[in-house]
């Protein structure tokens, strides 16, 4: 197994800290984590959580990606195909207030919607390569339509664009192009505001909190989602079957923001509200439909596990995870992420075999997502350090990730 501590988040934190002529004691005094924790992370003896990385990045005035090393697999023998496709998506995103010039007629709204639904399903299944192959030309065509169709048709084309942009946001964020995903967040908000569907605004708000989770702006993220809840409140009465799942998803997201901020009470309150909504809807899991935000009792349970992990409670996370049965109806993008999260809790409680099995399960469900998550690499790094003897399953996983961590 190839293993290099110099490629880990901890070593990057140490380097960035030294470049700013800051001691470990000085940095620890300015982040909500102990000096002992900082030392262990820098020495590679403890994994760097997203909250820890965000706090350090903010204090050192550097980008999170400078510490995580994202995007991964851009060079060498393990170069991921997604990187060759990303420039096309980046170019398509330059068109929004100006109409792109197409060399073909714009197809009907019905045809464009059918292809948009294909893109949405590829997002749910975390099929990143196929998604980025589809998105650029489709986004250009829909963007052109928003400029060229009759006024009474424009709003529903903006709905299509909001869904496509949400897919673009997912794939750019999941593959580590955080600069691009932040741009897409603004585009979703713009498209949602011009659509005729008030629930698209909630989708835009949910997406916008992604960068807030990444950079440590947890409090403002909760406020944004509280505002989104207030804006869709009338829809909960008029169209309960559509609005309530969206509201529940916003509560789940608020719970994650609060948990990452260390506010267990607020996280619990939001998760409790989400559980109540799921029960009111009849207890079925679904993929989010046109509004994309998957919701249901299993998703609530998964978020309760994730909240305990964000709060640093490995045993609590494990206790909750043992009660969950993942249904096949849960989108792979969500189920796969759950098993990556779970591997961290298993690592913390000393269940190294369980952590590796969870990573394999995540790989089976959503391989392209799992390969690009910083948590995957942090957990693998700790597993390699802990295994004094060769482990074939671990070696295979390290080789699949890219051979170097």
pLDDT band at 1 (very low <50, low <70, confident <90, very high): very low
Cβ burial, residue 123 (10 Å; 0-12/13-18/19+) = buried
Q: Distances from the Cα of 43 to the Cαs of 4, 6, 14, 54, in angstroms? A: 12, 10, 9, 18
Q: Are 219 and 203 in contact (CB under 8 A)?
A: no
How much is the pLDDT for 298?
Answer: 95
pLDDT per residue over 193-206, tens digit each? 999 898 999 999 99
Residue carrying the six token digits 């140490």: 14
Q: What is the mean pLDDT of residues 357-382?
A: 96
Mean pLDDT confidence for 29-36: 94
What's the rounded mean pLDDT across residues 22-37? 94
**Selected residue with higher pLDDT from 263 and 236:** 263
Neighbours of 11 (CB within 10 A): 18
Give tens-digit pLDDT for 150-179.
988 999 999 999 999 999 999 999 999 999
Q: Where are the domains of the chain?
A: 81-197, 331-405
- Rounded Cα distance between 53 and 294, Å, is 27
**CA-to-CA dists, residue 313 to 164, 170, 375, angstroms:** 36, 28, 16
Contacts of residue 130, Cβ cutoff 8 Å, sequence gap at least 6: 122
Cα separation of 260 and 258, whole Å? 5
Around Cβ 327, how many Cβ atoms within 10 Å?
12
pLDDT digits (tens, 9 = 90+) for 38-92: 999 999 899 999 999 999 999 999 999 999 999 998 776 667 899 999 999 999 9
CB 385 within 8 A of CB 44: yes
CATH of domain 331-405: 1.25.40
Distance between CA atoms of residues 119 and 163, nearest Å: 9
State how far the Cα of 280 lies from the Cα of 274, in Å rounded to an integer.
10
């Amino acid at each position: 197994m190839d293993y290099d501590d110099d490629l880990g988040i901890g070593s990057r934190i140490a380097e960035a800290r030294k470049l700013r002529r800051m001691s470990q004691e000085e940095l620890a005094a300015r982040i909500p984590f102990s000096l002992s924790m900082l030392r262990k992370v820098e020495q590679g003896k403890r994994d760097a959580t997203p909250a820890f990385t965000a706090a350090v990045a903010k204090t050192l005035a550097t980008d999170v990606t400078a510490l995580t090393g994202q995007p991964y697999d851009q060079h060498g023998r393990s170069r991921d195909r997604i990187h060759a496709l990303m420039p096309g998506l980046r170019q398509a995103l330059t068109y929004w207030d100006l109409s792109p010039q197409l060399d073909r007629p714009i197809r009907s709204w019905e045809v464009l919607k059918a292809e948009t639904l294909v893109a949405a399903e590829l997002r749910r299944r975390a099929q990143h390569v196929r998604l980025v192959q589809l998105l650029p030309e489709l986004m250009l065509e829909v963007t052109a339509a928003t400029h060229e169709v009759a006024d009474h048709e424009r709003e529903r084309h903006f709905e299509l664009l909001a869904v496509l942009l949400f897919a673009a946001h997912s794939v750019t964020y999941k593959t580590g192009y955080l600069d691009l995903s932040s741009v897409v967040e603004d585009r979703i908000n713009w498209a949602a505001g011009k659509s005729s569907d008030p629930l698209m605004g909630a989708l835009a708000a949910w997406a916008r909190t992604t960068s807030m989770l990444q950079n440590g702006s947890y409090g403002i993220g909760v406020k944004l989602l509280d505002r989104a809840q207030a804006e869709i409140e009338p829809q909960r009465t008029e169209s309960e079957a559509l609005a309530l799942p969206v509201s529940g998803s916003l509560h789940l997201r608020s719970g994650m923001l609060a948990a990452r901020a260390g506010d267990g009470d607020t996280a619990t309150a939001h998760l409790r509200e989400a559980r109540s909504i799921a029960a009111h809807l009849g207890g079925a899991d679904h993929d989010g439909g046109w509004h994309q935000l998957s919701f249901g009792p299993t998703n609530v349970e998964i978020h309760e596990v994730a909240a305990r992990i964000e709060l640093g409670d490995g045993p609590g996370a494990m206790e909750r995870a043992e009660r969950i049965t993942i249904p096949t109806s849960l989108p792979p993008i969500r189920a796969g992420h759950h098993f990556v999260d779970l591997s961290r809790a298993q690592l913390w409680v000393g269940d190294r075999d369980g952590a590796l099995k969870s990573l394999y399960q995540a790989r089976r469900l959503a391989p392209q997502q799992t390969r690009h998550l910083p948590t995957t690499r942090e957990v693998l790094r700790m597993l390699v350090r802990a295994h004094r003897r060769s482990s074939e399953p671990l070696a295979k996983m390290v080789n699949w990730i890219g051979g170097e961590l």
